[in-house]
Structure 1
Amino acid sequence: MSRTGLTAVRPAGYAVLRPARASFLVHRRAVAVAAVLTVLLACTVVAYLCVGESFVAPTQVVRVLLGRPSPDELVVGTLRLPRLVVGLLAGAAFGVAGALVQTVARNPLASPDVIGVTHGAGAATVAAMSFNAVGYTALPYVSVGGGLAAALLVYVFAWRRRLHSSRFVLVGIGVSVALGSLTQLFLTKGDYLVAQQAKVWLTGSLNGRGYEEAGPLALVLALAVPAAVWAARAQRGASFDDDTATALGVRLDRVRLGLTALGVILASVATGAAGPVDFVALLAPQIARRLTRTAQIPLLSSALTGSLVVVVADLLARRLFSPVELPVGVLTAAVGAPYLMWLIVRTRSRSGGTAS
């Protein structure tokens, strides 16, 4: 019983944590799902480092990860681990970015690669690569600029006194097509050898990726943690319809702008580090939401799911057709494209049923 005589009502499925003088509501199932995903991701990391042209025993992998001397330190620590780190960080960034964009659009079809953000980042990066405009280490920053420009373009054209989810997605698809054509133009006008490298990059590949690419991505993710904590709370207001959110005192335009900006930055930096790995930002949030069964898309589970999807896909891409190595984006697209078509059919079926 509180001082006002009213008893606080705890939502079903939630528990209350009281560290120090603060108190937080925690969804029990979301915590359990995050724990299971963490265990699965840890097992996948060990398997990723074990499997390759030469098999490394799990005990030796663990020794390398703990910093202990091992005869397989070169294979695990130098050749495989940097690539794995990029995949983990990029997958987490794509997962959170997709969750934020889908929250703003209130549409499961929305994701950075569908609405043009990754295409903007890709177009800017390919232009910089093809015309040798900047150094290789500056490419992630060029990607951020391209992603922000594409997102701003979509936001401006989709805004009509308020942001309608269907218009947001449709405008984003149109911008994606236009930016894809612009990217092809850059490939034909630039240096041939660099253009070939850019084509490989456009498929989304972790081949040759290392700590140079992981550094800026890790820095952005670390700086985004406070913003992600705010975003987790802001999601509640952004998920309501406009009238309800306004009645509750939510500054909806500012919240949506903040969530979109954070998602665009994360997706753009991840694209600069690993290339446009398609459909991870679309798949990860929806898988996480179906696993947790929460009202809002869980950011932590989305990040873990994104990392798991990228690492598993890259592991399969390395070994499925060995000795030929596929780009990781090929496998994520092979899974994500049918899911996108199923999602469109399912959405249209629901709309038809509502209309009738």
Structure 2
Amino acid sequence: MTAPVEERVRPAGYALARPGRASFLVHRRATLVAAVLAVLVAAAVGVALCVGETFVAPGEVLKVVLGQPSPDELVVGTLRLPRVVTGLLVGLAFGAAGALIQTVARNPLASPDIIGVSAGASALTVGAMTYGLTDYRTLPWVSVAGGLLAAALVYAFAWRGGLQAARFVLIGIGFAVALRSVTQLFLTKGDQFVAQQAKVWMTGSLNARGWDQANPLLITLLVAVPALLWAARAQRTVGLDDDTATALGVRLGRTRLGMAVLGVVLASMATGSAGPVDFVALLAPQIARRLTRTAQIPPLSSALTGAFIVVTADVLARKLLAPTELPVGVLTAAVGAPYLAWLIVRSRTGGKA
């Protein structure tokens, strides 16, 4: 008996899912990796809620999360839960943003913190703080404006009849350096207290983060879900070379622009919520791609990997030098900087990133 057409053309490693009347291909290994990552993220969140200056039993943590009375309501529900949720959302946003931008640029170096997006968000946010805007409910939107402006400048200067990946990254690095100088200029203009606040924020910290920082990012991620589903589907055509994609009738410029804007908005919102937590958007997509062994960067696995990195790094930041708390960005930079150096050396020697 002859198999259906979709069965005959199904690529190796994929399964055909049919929810209702719709049908689409699902990569088996990527699905398994995403499920495992989700379990690891849940475990990391549980550990983060249990540990701190005082250890809270998992049973009491579960009571607080479920809204039941508990003597640890203050410690878990008021102090730890908002911080952990903010870290979780920041990691999800940075991981997804890194996957989108690296897919558009087709370069593992093209992450928001490398190409100037985070630097633009930081510059405008620190500038706003310097001139008196310290409302943490407003700062994420200021960061989005700064990230979009920086991305638009990089895109405009890198465009020469097309978007060449190496030029895009190099121009982005140049803008990142320039915008960091602007940030330092703002720091010298503000009073000492505001400058100190801004410096802590710039290291990427979850300390004292609450629902005011988590809620805008949560809303952004929920609103972005349909766009992320579209981006995951469009990813295969974006990864093709320009001539092949054009021959297939793909509006490559619009698709890449839409994915890039989505990635910039997510990265900028995450920056506004917790500061520029460097290298998460660089690391997460590449780790996810190696775990899933897919041709394209998997957005869901990248987001979950980013969440696991941030939540785990925050636990370590609280415990390594206790009672002193390190900014979470210090630990992510300690891992990400050597990886960035390895990527650069690998690319120069002709190795496959």
Give the shorter-chain TM-score range: over 0.9
Counterpart in 2 of 1:75?
Answer: 75
Summarize the alignment of residues 150-299 of structure 1 with structure 2, pairs less than 5 Å apart. 150-299=150-299
Shift of 1:71: 1.4
Shift of 1:298: 0.6
How many Å separate the matches in 1 of 2:149 and 2:318? 34
Q: Secondary structure at the match of 2:25?
A: strand
Summarize the alignment of residues 1-356 of structure 1 with structure 2, pairs less than 5 Å apart. 1=2, 8-133=8-133, 135-350=135-350
Shift of 1:136: 3.5
What's the TM-score once normalised by structure 2's chain length?
0.97
Q: Structure 2: which amino acid aligns with 1:10? A: R
Q: Secondary structure at the match of 1:145?
A: helix
Shift of 1:6: 8.9
- Relative to structure 1, is the Cα distance of residues 36 and 323 closer, same or farther in structure 2, using a 3 angstrom cutoff? same
**Cα deviations by residue, 1:145-176 (Å, 9 ceiling, x for unpaired):** 00000000000000000000000000000000
Shift of 1:8: 3.5
Task: Extract unaligned runs of 5+ from structure 2.
Answer: none
Shift of 1:350: 1.4
Q: Secondary structure at the match of 2:137?
A: helix
Q: Structure 2: which amino acid aligns with 1:154? A: V
Would the aligned equivalents of 2:136 and 2:213 in 1 still touch at CA under 8 Å?
Answer: no
How many Å separate the matches in 2 of 1:339 and 1:98? 15
Q: Secondary structure at the match of 1:177?
A: helix
Q: Structure 2: which amino acid aligns with 1:54? A: T
**Cα deviations by residue, 1:229-252 (Å, 9 ceiling, x for unpaired):** 000011111111111111111111
Q: Secondary structure at the match of 2:161?
A: coil
How many Å separate the matches in 1 of 2:235 and 2:19? 23
What's the TM-score once normalised by structure 1's chain length?
0.96
Q: Secondary structure at the match of 1:136?
A: coil
Q: Structure 2: which amino acid aligns with 1:127? A: G
- Number of aligned residue pairs: 351
Would the aligned equivalents of 1:115 and 1:175 in 2 still touch at CA under 8 Å?
Answer: yes
Shift of 1:347: 1.2
**Cα deviations by residue, 1:99-136 (Å, 9 ceiling, x for unpaired):** 00000010001100000000000000000001114643
- Relative to structure 1, is the Cα distance of residues 334 and 233 closer, same or farther in structure 2, using a 3 angstrom cutoff? same
Q: Secondary structure at the match of 1:12?
A: coil
Q: Which moved further from structure 2: 127-136 or 98-107?
A: 127-136
- Relative to structure 1, is the Cα distance of residues 99 and 134 closer, same or farther in structure 2, using a 3 angstrom cutoff? same
- Relative to structure 1, is the Cα distance of residues 71 and 255 closer, same or farther in structure 2, using a 3 angstrom cutoff? same
Shift of 1:208: 0.8
Q: Secondary structure at the match of 2:56?
A: coil
Q: Secondary structure at the match of 1:250?
A: coil
Q: Which moved further from structure 2: 169-178 or 189-198?
A: 189-198
Task: Extract unaligned runs of 5+ from structure 1.
Answer: none
Q: Which runs of 4+ in 1 moved over 3 A?
A: 5-8, 133-136
Would the aligned equivalents of 1:131 and 1:191 in 2 still touch at CA under 8 Å?
Answer: no
Q: Structure 2: which amino acid aligns with 1:172? A: G
- Relative to structure 1, is the Cα distance of residues 51 and 135 closer, same or farther in structure 2, using a 3 angstrom cutoff? closer
How many Å separate the matches in 2 of 1:340 and 1:35? 28
Q: Structure 2: which amino acid aligns with 1:189? A: K
Shift of 1:138: 0.9
How many Å separate the matches in 2 of 1:183 and 1:157? 21
Would the aligned equivalents of 2:136 and 2:212 in 1 still touch at CA under 8 Å?
Answer: no
Q: Secondary structure at the match of 1:114?
A: coil
- Relative to structure 1, is the Cα distance of residues 7 and 186 closer, same or farther in structure 2, using a 3 angstrom cutoff? closer
**Cα deviations by residue, 1:18-77 (Å, 9 ceiling, x for unpaired):** 011000100000110011111111111111111110011111112222222221111111
How many Å separate the matches in 2 of 1:238 and 1:30? 19
**Cα deviations by residue, 1:245-294 (Å, 9 ceiling, x for unpaired):** 11111111001100000000000000000100000000000000000011
Would the aligned equivalents of 1:89 and 1:214 in 2 still touch at CA under 8 Å?
Answer: yes
Q: Structure 2: which amino acid aligns with 1:113? A: D
